[in-house]
Amino acid sequence: MLSAERGAAANTLAAYRADLEEFFAFAIGQGVAPGAAGPEVLSAYMARLSDLGRSARTAARRLSALKQFFRFLVREGLRTDDPTILQAGPKPAPSLPKAIAETEVEALIAGAAKLPGHRGPLAVAALELLYCSGLRASELVALPAAALREDEPLVAVRGKGGKERLVPISRRAREAALAAREALAARGKPEATTGRPRPLGRWLFPGRAASGHMTRQALGLLLKDAALAAGLDPDKVSPHVLRHSFASHLLGHGADLRTLQVLLGHADIATTQIYTKVLEERLRALVEAHHPLAEGGG
């Protein structure tokens, strides 16, 4: 079914096979046919995964495979009930978002400026805008050229679910974006009739895609080229990493979670609370540095 109906890749099929074979071996060891296993066998299996020290993410993947397996059996009429319905899966602990250091951001922007031709100004503009505003990649590439006005410190951005929010854009980022536009205009072939450069279109970051603007994939490659030019590991750099760096560095300099929620466009403060670990680290460092009884305190 996974192969014929869903067109699953070979690696996906191998992963499902491995997950199910592990459960089959456990069920047979319990004296139960795998396809006839009940909720108690499922619970014992999940407990066994925990005893073996399997991560919550691994256990969740095992349970997902079992849910699809037993739903398949029910649809095919091979059993009448699904023993996984009431089986709660483990909740992986939220991981601390990855961010690069402030010095690495500056090095990245300097590296971007070294890229040849129009790609240099374009990469600098993308980095400045991502880092000064925390924009998502999809939000950045869809910025209209008319969004950056000299007399407007805020830019309207359409985020997830079509919701709009206002984000502040620094003068430095605005100037970088204008420089990128000038570089793009300079490389454009002049129109045959007027001899003037062809118009760049409505997007701040134009591209050849059907949408008319740069794709997220092209943006990611541009940032990786900037990382290589800066002597940084390109695997550490992406639009999402710049977004996390924006949030982490703001918190490190005293911003509060509610402000960060608005700037990032999170609908729920719970999504923003993953950054509380950044706050905890900052508070711990403050206590260690300034509390009279802390090691190294004054």
pLDDT tens by residue, 146-183: 888 777 788 888 887 778 888 999 999 999 999 998 88
Strand partners, 167: 155
Structure tokens at 269: 């403060």
Residue type, 260: L
Half-sphere exposure (Cβ direction) of 80: Cα atoms closer than 13 Å: 0
Its pTM stands at 0.63
Residue 104 has pLDDT above 90, yes or no: yes
For residue 156, report the phi and psi dihedrals to the nearest 5 degrees.
Answer: -80, 125
Only one residue has tokens 């995964």, namely 49
Query: What are the structural domain ranges in the chain?
Result: 10-75, 102-286
Torsion sign across C-alpha atoms 281, 126, 132, 271: negative
The beta strand positions in 44-127, using DSSP E, are none
Only one residue has tokens 């990649």, namely 137
Contact partners, residue 223, CB within 8 Å, separation at least 6: 108, 123, 126, 127, 237, 238, 239, 242
The pLDDT of residue 73: 95
**Quick check: 100 and 241 in contact, CB under 8 A?**
yes
pLDDT tens by residue, 127-144: 999 999 999 999 999 999
**Would you identify the CATH topology of the domain 102-286?**
hpI Integrase; Chain A (1.10.443)
Residues designated as active site: 136, 160, 240, 243, 266, 275
- In angstroms, the CA 65 to CA 59 distance is 10
